Amino acid sequence: MSQTYFITGTGTDIGKTYVTSLLAHYTTDRGFSTAVMKPAQTGMTDPMNGDLGKVKAVAPGILDIPMELACPYCLEFESSPHLAAELAGLEIDLKRITDAYAKIKTQYNPDVILLESAGGIYVPLNQRQIMADIPAALGIPAIIVADAALGTINHTVLTINELRRRDVEVRGVIVNRVPEDPGILIRDNLKMIEKLGKVEIIAQAGTGKGFIDDLGLRHIF
């Protein structure tokens, strides 16, 4: 049975792709067959020039999946997916994404599936649906990527609460950009995210260092 996680973040450029690549490396290195999916990519026409290519570079052992399944929507204009689709004369169909996910599960039977969001959970897919509707429709848990710096408590807890309001399980938080010596501010940020969000920080990542503390990952893979 596949373990599937929706990798989202508290905002844009928070490090979702970096963390997704570390997760994919973690799982493939331990012998888990791993599929990575990017439901919507903008700013290019070839998904391998974007986030999927970055993940593949770090975790070359991920499954080779046809791009129409791994990235159902790849749109040229760099923006929120809804606008990029509108400029391309399209509307993103959530069913196309869920169907691609179902085909990956049935045709490849991976041990792990990682779906990387575009931006945060309120990024629009179309005029009616947002990114949070993907894990809600699939019935899969989310892992939130948060920044270590000032402001992260508010952004992270709001993201946690909104996902839970939509009946999406929050499996944990991975905090990115944690320095080797975090200092009192960042240490308190981590403590208060866990306390106020009633959630576990399952790993910390420092850019260029990989996982600083991945003990929590053993609980989910």
**Catalytic residue numbers, as ranges:** 38
Structure-token pair, residue 65? 């999946």
Is residue 194 classed as helix, strand or coil in its secondary structure? helix
Question: Count H helices, E strands: the chain?
Answer: 8, 9
Q: Report the alpha-carbon distance of residue 63 to residue 186 in Å, rounded.
A: 36
Q: Which residues contact 89 (CB under 8 A, 6 or more apart)?
A: none
Phi then psi for residue 158, to 5 deg, are: -60, -40
What phi and psi, each to the nearest 5 degrees, are found at residue 70?
A: -65, -30
Burial string for 152-178 (b: 16+ CB within 10 Å, else e) reads bbebbbebbebbeeeebebbbbbbbbb
> Max CA-CA distance within the chain?
50
Strands 34-37 and 112-120: what pairing?
parallel
Burial of 106 (0-12, 13-18, 19+ CB in 10 A): exposed
